Amino acid sequence: MAKIIAITGGKGGTGKSTVSTSLALSLSKEYCVLLVDADVDCPNDHLLLNCELKEQKKVYQRIPIFDNSKCQKCGICGTVCKNKAIVSLKGKFPIFIPKQCNGCGACEIICPYKAISWNKKEIGKIYFGNVEKLSLLSGELKENEPVSEFIVNHLNEEIEATKKDYDYIIIDTAAGSHCPVIASFELATQIIAVTEPTPLGSHDLEIILKLLETLKKDCSIILNRSDLGDKSKILKLASKYKKKIVLEIPYSQDIAKAYSKGIPVLIPNINSVIK
| CB-based contact 190:15 (threshold 8 Å) | no
Tell me: pLDDT of 10 over 90.
no
pLDDT tens, 33-55?
999 999 999 999 999 999 999 99
| 44-58, 105-119, 196-210, 244-258: range with lowest mean pLDDT | 244-258
- The pLDDT assigned to 164 comes to 96
pLDDT digits 0-9 by tens, 72-83: 999 999 999 999
Cα separation, 47 vs 78, whole angstroms: 42
| Spans of all domains in the chain | 3-59+124-273, 68-114
pLDDT band of 258, cuts 50, 70, 90: confident
Percent of the residues in the chain that have a pLDDT greater than 70, as a whole number: 100
Measure the N-to-C terminal CA separation of the chain; round to a whole number of Å: 15
- Give the residues across from 141 on adjacent strands: 124
Q: Is 232 exposed, middle or buried (0-12, 13-18, 19+ CB in 10 A)?
A: exposed
The one-letter amino acid code at 203 reads H
Architecture of domain 68-114 in CATH?
Answer: 2-Layer Sandwich (3.30)
The pLDDT mean for the chain works out to 95
Residues 93-102: tens digit of each pLDDT: 999 999 999 9
Q: How many CB atoms lie within 10 A of CB 123?
A: 26
pLDDT in tens, 147-187: 899 999 999 999 999 999 999 999 999 999 999 999 999 99
Over the stretch 107-153, which tens digit does the pLDDT of each residue have?
A: 999 999 999 999 999 999 999 999 989 999 999 999 988 889 999 99
Nearest alpha carbon to residue 194 among 169, 225, 216, 215: 225
pLDDT at 108: 97
Average pLDDT for 52-64: 96
Fold of 3-59+124-273: Rossmann fold (3.40.50)
